[in-house]
Amino acid sequence: MKIVVCVKQVPDTTEVKLDPVKGTLIREGVPSIMNPDDKSGLEAALRIKDETGAHVTVLTMGPPQATAVLREAMAMGADDGVLLTDRAFGGADTWATSYTISLALKKMDFDLIITGRQAIDGDTAQVGPQIGEHLDIPNISYAEDLKVEGDHVIVKRQFEDRYHIVKAKMPCLVTALAELNEPRYMTPGGIFKAFDKPITELHFDNLDAKAEDLGLKGSPTKVVKSFPKAVKAAGTKIEASPEESVEYIVDKLKERFML
């Protein structure tokens, strides 16, 4: 069995800032990490590997420094890594990103593709399902549990106030929630082995694509403006009995809406 896990290197959003002029993320000086949902997806793949002996490949699209998340994934137990990198891929929206990744996946053998639900730097939750659509394979999103039985996957899928149990025949794609599991740590031996392993690089010339379909040129959507969430004024705290609280709230509503 062959599993490909798509991961992304993202800025640690606990320290993220926006450029007030350009409206883009300021990445300089901000630590980069493996996207949390992707790491849970990787852990799910590694647990399947522990049980079945599956081969796990990690794939990321990004600049050369994105090899760091591939090394981290291999130190956790992944077998090999693939870096999809080229200036032609720059500025891609979710559509162009998913299309580019799907072209790379078409050159790889896989039974199961696992991605994170969404990346913390974009929060779109679009790339995973779009990859499945480009590849014309079943895709199951919001996985909070994942099992493999024969040539099928069985997924417990989060859905509002309930969950779905979905069974799909492989090849298929699953997007994982961070709540799916607790990812393992890298081991010292795994770290040494990870840096001894070669990483395969794929560039524009390796893909069967036109330049106008990739990157900024191939993106049907554009970000017009980005801005931080407005800070709300501090609220008013009162200590009162339930009856007094009700009377206070009613008076405030009357005052606000001039009733």
Convert the pLDDT of each residue in 79-110 to its tens digit: 999 999 999 999 999 999 999 999 999 999 99
Q: How far is Cα 175 from Cα 162, in angstroms, rounded to an integer?
A: 18
Per-residue pLDDT, 14: 64
Contact by Cβ (8 Å): 33, 86 = no
Place of tokens 């480009």: 134
- Residues of 158-183 as b/e, b for ≥16 C-beta within 10 angstroms? beeeeeeebebebbbbbbbbbebbeb
Per-residue pLDDT, 97: 96
Per-residue pLDDT, 29: 65
Residue 20 has pLDDT above 70, yes or no: no
Convert the pLDDT of each residue in 182-240 to its tens digit: 999 998 999 999 999 999 999 999 999 999 999 999 999 987 777 777 777 778 888 89
C-alpha dihedral over 125, 126, 127, 130, to 10 degrees? Answer: 140
Q: What is the pTM of this model?
A: 0.84
Q: How far is Cα 259 from Cα 254, in angstroms, rounded to an integer?
A: 5
Q: What is the mean pLDDT of the chain?
A: 91
Per-residue pLDDT, 141: 95
Per-residue pLDDT, 11: 86
Band of pLDDT at residue 16, cut at 50, 70 and 90: low
Convert the pLDDT of each residue in 110-166 to its tens digit: 999 999 999 988 889 999 999 999 999 999 999 999 999 999 999 999 988 899 999
Per-residue pLDDT, 22: 60
Convert the pLDDT of each residue in 245-254 to its tens digit: 999 999 988 8
